Structure 1
């Protein structure tokens, strides 16, 4: 089986400094209705690394092995132990696209879009930018990924988003079977998510149903 992709869950809220100029005491993540804490810099670095690196995610499946290699390069200790801890806490998920587990993940999580659409990039035909006005794009993606960034947040789960995007494609002339098959769209969406995550153009969250159940 192909090695699963590593996905960070939650929206980073930044470090907490107990006083001006003091080092962070912890890092805050917003996940569903909760605000779990990352209690040391190395764990926060591993969670951040799970988003991917913008200059390396294109064409590179973002797996535990890739994260381990980069952590070694950067001197981040105990990658596997820290990643296992984040998985146990529900702050990271390991998902192999095209598997039943991937469908279950998609049925219980949603994608939330961030930043602004910058459209086609004049220096790179076939590439769209996402970022802040007046600045270089933070994410540079294919048009189909850009379309997912535009629309996927409107559905309650990733599974529903894939079905909705497939239905949208079916209404366009010349659509291919792969573009109109929800399972194929979900596979593509999961496989391309790190090009968006690495630029903070999206974050992954629990579905509202799961978040409400956790709160209750």
Structure 2
């Protein structure tokens, strides 16, 4: 998208608002979502990585955090539930089911083209997430279904542990654009 005197801008939506970002700001925003499924960016690692690419990012990251374009949350911290009560997770790719080589893991992608791999608990939350009014309800629902199915593993039956699993694995989905977070819808 071009804005003004031919200056290129990227649009990022947060709820009903749209933020326009210059290409360099958009690059920082993309880096914040991780570069692979093992990457768990923090504020300092994001600033460092962006700096290594020649992007002046410290003030950009602070602005993104202030404006809600980014949210810093520790999966194990108490504020993780608060985050989950205020945000919704949306899948952008289809669930493809168990990985043939690792059946305890589930795959997400497009028609026989897996793009990401997640645990069963994260897969359940992701595939039903658009039906929950916020992530926390989705984690509670997934835990209840697991209990009804006879699962006993706490990482699948305890909503708090399900949430920690989702937040711990979500960068693997975000970095390949398999899912995104948004503010929860007000009903």
Measured against the shorter chain, the TM-score band is 0.7 to 0.9
Matches within 5 A, 1:78-97: 78-97=56-75
Cα deviation for residue 162 of structure 1 reads: 1.2
Residue among 85, 88, 91 paired with 1:110 = 88
* 2:121 is equivalent to residue 144 of structure 1: yes
For residues 1-29 of structure 1, give each alpha carbon's deviation from its aligned partner in whole angstroms, at most 9, with x where no partner exists.
xxxxxxxxxxxxxxx036xxx97521111
RMSD value over aligned CA atoms?
Answer: 2.4
Say if 2:184 is the partner of 1:207. Answer: yes
Summarize the Cα distance change of 1:124–1:185 in structure 2 as closer, same or farther, 3 Å threshold.
closer
Find the aligned partners of 1:23 and 1:129 in 2 and give their Cα distance: 41
**C-alpha separation between the residues in 1 aligned to 2:63 and 2:116?**
29
How many Å separate the matches in 1 of 2:100 and 2:131? 29
Quick one: distance in 2 between partners of 1:172 and 1:121? 21
In 2: Cα distance, 1:167 partner to 1:150 partner: 15
Q: Call closer, same or farther: CA 1:43–1:157 in 2, change over 3 Å.
A: same
5+ residue gaps, structure 2: none
Q: Which residue of 2 aligns with 1:44?
A: 26
Inter-partner Cα distance in structure 1 for 2:68 and 2:25: 14
For the 8 Å contact 2:129–2:138, the answer to whether it is kept is: yes
> CA separation in 2, counterparts of 1:100 and 1:177?
18
The runs of at least 4 aligned residues of structure 1 exceeding 3 Å deviation read: 121-127
SS at match of 2:71: strand
Question: Is 1:189 matched up with 2:172?
Answer: no
Distance 1:173 1:123 in 2: 24
Distance in 2, matches of 1:178 and 1:132, equals 27
Looking at structure 1, the residues matched to 100 and 158 of structure 2 have their Cα atoms a distance apart, in angstroms, of 31
Where does the alignment leave 5 or more consecutive residues of structure 1 unmatched? 1-15
Q: Distance in 2 between matches of 1:100 and 1:128?
A: 28
How far apart are 1:81 and its partner, in Å?
Answer: 1.6
Change (3 A) 1:95 1:113: same
Task: Give CA-to-partner distance per residue, 1:131-151, whole Å, 9 cap, x none.
Answer: 2225x4222223332222212
TM-score (norm 2): 0.87
**Aligned mate of 1:64, from 43, 47, 50:** 43
Equivalent residue number for residue 8 of structure 2:
25
Distance 1:27 1:45 in 2: 10
Give distance in 1, aligned partners of 2:7 and 2:175: 23
